[in-house]
Copies of this chain bind each other. A is one copy, B any other.
Amino acid sequence: MRARVLIRPKAGILDPQGQAVERALPALGFTGVSEVHVGRLVELEVQDESQLPAMCERLLANPLIEEYEIQTGHTAAWGERASEEGTAA
Tell me the A residues contacting B by CB distance below 8 Å.
Answer: 6-8, 10-12, 18, 21-22, 24-25, 28, 30-48, 51, 53-60, 63-64, 67-70, 77-79, 81-82, 84-89
A81 shortest CB reach to chain B, Å: 6
User: Is there contact, CB below 8 Å, between A33 and B46?
Assistant: yes
User: Is there contact, CB below 8 Å, between A21 and B59?
Assistant: yes
A55 shortest CB reach to chain B, Å: 5
Counted per complex, copies of this chain come to 2
Q: Would you give 11 A-B contacts (Cβ < 8 Å), ordered by A? A: A8-B41, A10-B87, A22-B44, A25-B55, A32-B47, A33-B46, A36-B43, A38-B40, A39-B42, A63-B88, A69-B85
